[in-house]
Chain A
Amino acid sequence: MADHSGKNFPTPTKETAPYWEGCRNHQLVIQQCLKCEYYQFYPRMICTHCSHDHMDWVTVSGNGRVVSFTVIRRPISPAYKAEAPYVVALIKLDEGPTMMSNIVECEPEKVFIGMKVNVVFEDWSEGISIPKFVPQK
Chain B
Amino acid sequence: MSSLNGKVAIVGAADTEVGVVPHMGATQLCVDAALRALDDAGIDKEQVDGLITCNSMAEPYMYHAEAIAEYMQIFPRYCLGVGTGGGTTFSVLHHAASAIATGVCDTVLITMADSLYSGLSKEQAMAMQSSTGHQQFEIPYGPTVPAFYALSGQAHMAEYGTTPEQFAAIAVAGRKHANLNPAAQKRDIITVEDVLNSRMIADPLHLLDCSLISDGGSAVVLTSAERATSFKNPPVYLLGAGEGHSHEHISQAHNLTTSAAAESGQRAYEMAGVGPSDIDVAQIYDCFTPTVLIELEDLGFCEKGEGGAFVENGNVELGGSLPINTHGGLLSHCHPGNPGSMFALTEAVAQLRHQAGDRQVQDAKVSLVHGQGGILSSHTTLILGREKH
**Interface set of A (CB-CB < 8 Å, partner B):** 7-13, 16, 20, 41-42, 67-77, 80, 83, 86, 88-90, 98-102, 113-114, 130
Contact status A100-B154, CB under 8 Å: no
With most chain A CB atoms within 10 A of its CB, the pick from B123, B139, B203, B205 is B203
Which of A73, A76, A80, A113 meets B158, CB within 8 Å? A113
B369 lies within 8 A of chain A by Cβ: no
Within the complex, which residue of B123, B135, B143 is in contact with A88, where a contact is CB–CB below 8 Å?
B143
Q: Which single member of A12, A73, A77, A80 contacts B202 (CB below 8 Å)?
A: A73
B155 in contact with A70 (CB, 8 Å)? no
B151, A76: Cβ atoms under 8 Å? no
Give the residues in chain A near B137, CB-CB below 8 Å. Answer: 10, 41-42, 99-100
Beta-carbon contact of B202 and A100 below 8 Å? no
Within 8 A of A (CB), among B333-367: none
Smallest CB separation, B132 vs chain A (Å): 12
A102 touches B202 (CB 8 A): no
| Chain B 117-161 interface mask (CB, 8 Å, partner A; 1/0) | 000000100110010001111111111101100111011001000
Q: In the complex, which of the residues A69, A83, A130 contacts B140, with contact meaning CB atoms closer than 8 Å? A: A130
Give the A-binding residues of B (Cβ under 8 A): 123, 126-127, 130, 134-144, 146-147, 150-152, 154-155, 158, 199-205, 250-252, 256
Are B202 and A72 within 8 A (Cβ)?
Answer: yes
Q: How far is B203's CA from A13's CA once the two chains are assembled, in angstroms?
A: 33
CA distance A117 to B61 in the complex (A): 45
In whole angstroms, what is the CA distance A98 to B138 when docked?
Answer: 12
Q: Which residue of A lies closest to B257 (CB)?
A: A68
User: Are B147 and A70 interface neighbours, CB within 8 A?
Assistant: yes
When A9-B140, A100-B251 are in contact, do A73 and B151 touch as well, CB less than 8 Å?
A: no
Q: Are B135 and A80 in contact (CB under 8 A)?
A: no
Across the A-B interface, give the 9 residue pairs with the lowest CB-CB distance, nearest first.
A70-B150, A10-B136, A100-B251, A68-B155, A80-B142, A68-B151, A113-B158, A70-B202, A8-B139
Q: Would you list 24 pairs from A and B whose C-beta atoms are within 8 A, ordered by A residue?
A: A8-B140, A9-B140, A10-B136, A12-B136, A13-B136, A42-B136, A68-B155, A68-B256, A70-B146, A70-B147, A70-B154, A70-B204, A73-B199, A73-B202, A76-B130, A77-B123, A88-B143, A98-B251, A99-B137, A100-B137, A100-B141, A100-B143, A100-B251, A102-B142
